[in-house]
Chain A
Amino acid sequence: MHRVLQQPFKTAVLLLVWGWLLLLVLTPNLLVVGASLMTRDAGSFLALPLNLDSYRRLLDPLYLEVFLHSLYMAGVTTVFCLLIGYPFAWALSRIGKQRQTLLIFLLIVPFWTNSLVRTYALKLLLATNGLINNALMGLGLIDEPLQLLYTEGAVIIGLVYLLLPFMILPLYSVFEDLRRELLMASHDLGAGKLATFMHVIVPLTLPGVLAGVMLVLLPAMGLFFVADILGGSRNLLVGNVIKNQFLDARDWPFGAAASILLTVAMAVLLFAHRLSRRRLGDEEPAT
């Protein structure tokens, strides 16, 4: 009591943030776990008895196929983001400080149009009568318009476009920390460029890579509107399955189980991320 009175400010702040997280993060997630164990009910949404049916259905070849395909598309997206983002973050960290701020800011500006609007803008580019086809035909490179829209490729392009900044930002922050001296030292010790890259740069930037992978791979499975708009409601993502269970088919237990699958995937990635930081002797779990 005495301590509480002594530090009313601290107590108030801690109560606020703990209250917020317990009420709006922990409780809802427990509810989802609970829902996943219940049974679908046509009238109300959920009913007893408790069982594992929803999890069993996740193993149904149909859904397994959707999940694997979604994982595949998210994986390809992540690889592209990494391939584009890694050199990008490196180049970004090497230019003048003042320009860096401006360039980082330029990464954020597109967000202000809302991702739905940006996805729509991509559609303008990719459509059969769209700008890319028009340009290619105008240049005489193709005679027939290419089928770009409503394909797996269109979905992946959309995902890369929306998620690239989330790969770049954590990578940029590790490159920022990467001390030049370390590279110099490695060079002085006679390591070649490739060796420096493999043995110094890669391990040091690994936490950033993993953070970027986490910020891209998991959301890439959830952005249902990209599959809707650019995939023509084909090439479904896990997000479409979850959304359908909640907003169309009303199978809450199954939707909840599918979302727990994503949470488990996140837990695995978080664990890997921690391990990579541990190995670098960094204790803080924050990016």
Chain B
Amino acid sequence: MKHWLPRAYLTTVYALLYLPILVLVVFSFNSSRTGYRWGGLSLQWYESLFSNHAMVQAMWNSLWLALAAATVSTIIGALTALALHRYRFRGKRVLRGMLFVVMMSPEIVLAISLLALFLLVGLQLGFVSLLLAHVTFCLPFVVITVMARLSGFDESLPEAARDLGASDFTMTRTVLIPVIMPALLAGWLLGFTLSLDDVVVSTFVSGPSYEILPLRIYSMVRVGLKPEVNALGTLLLVFSLTMLILSQWILTRSKR
């Protein structure tokens, strides 16, 4: 096999993956209204995006929701992974199986089942319903990420800690959490990503009291030429990248 072939292949696929995004970013600075042609550099779409406060509100709501969903699912997911890794208990296989099934379930199935539940218990569709739904679909991904890290981890450390008289809780805090920190971060990032990307589940379980992006832009996107959407996508990308660089920075600093 030629050595350059795999690289050329990877490059091609990445180029195709990034082409639409590149178009999005470039066209967000395009002054032409009719979308498809280049009319010169301009920031007008950012201006009109920011003057549309419903849209800005929805963007913040989406980001807050993603942050909250990622955080909650990381906490619950990490605890679950620890329990699965360290304890023997009845129904362990069932628990694993269930998480696996949630991970593999088509979103739309999850979406309508949660909608049915929320209506039955009379929960107002808004932030809480969205958070519960997003945490549910993020959870298995966090569990798997953390489990992968734990399985490669030296068992003698917690044993030693326990021999020294540390309680489970103390041991978890002082020994385990530092070890699985990279996995927690990866899991958190995955949760954040899945939550921000989601359209299907959000369509079903959100209400007017807490509007997030997919609903706000759905008809705009169906309408066709809305350069504000380009600006919005670009902003989301920039925000997420900043978050990531920040978290990397915190991580490397805490390692020192």
Contact = CB atoms under 8 A, between A and B. Distances in A.
A–B interface present (Cβ within 8 A): yes
B21 to A, nearest CB: 6
* Interface magnitude class on chain B: 35 or more
A266 B104 CA distance: 7
Contact of A285 (B97, B135, B214, B218): B97
B193 A10 contact: no
A7 B214 contact: no
B203 interface: yes
B112 A32 contact: yes
B19 A255 contact: no
Contact of A116 (B19, B100, B112, B214): B214
A116 B13 CA distance: 21
Interface in B124-175: 132-133, 135-136, 139, 144, 147, 167-169, 172
B197 A270 contact: no
B49 to A, nearest CB: 12
Contact of B109 (A114, A120, A222): A222
Contacts, number: 241
B122 interface: no
A52 B115 CA distance: 22
A32 B113 contact: yes
Contacts of A106: 14
B104 A214 contact: yes
A103 interface: yes
A92 B233 contact: no
Contacts of A90: 6
Contacts of B21: 110, 113, 118, 121
B175 to A, nearest CB: 14
Interface in A101-143: 103, 106-125, 127, 129-131, 134
A255 B116 CA distance: 12
Contacts of A224: 108, 200
Interface of B: 6-7, 9-10, 13-14, 17-21, 23-24, 27, 35-37, 62, 76, 79-80, 82-83, 87, 89, 91, 93, 95-110, 112-117, 120, 132-133, 135-136, 139, 144, 147, 167-169, 172, 189-190, 193-194, 196-200, 203-204, 213-214, 217-218, 221-222, 224, 226, 229-230, 232-234, 236-237, 239-241
Interface of A: 7, 9-10, 13-14, 16-18, 20-21, 24-29, 31-32, 35, 84, 87-88, 90-92, 94-95, 103, 106-125, 127, 129-131, 134, 161, 164, 214-215, 218-219, 221-225, 228-229, 238-239, 242-243, 246-247, 252, 255-256, 259, 262-263, 266, 269-270, 285-287
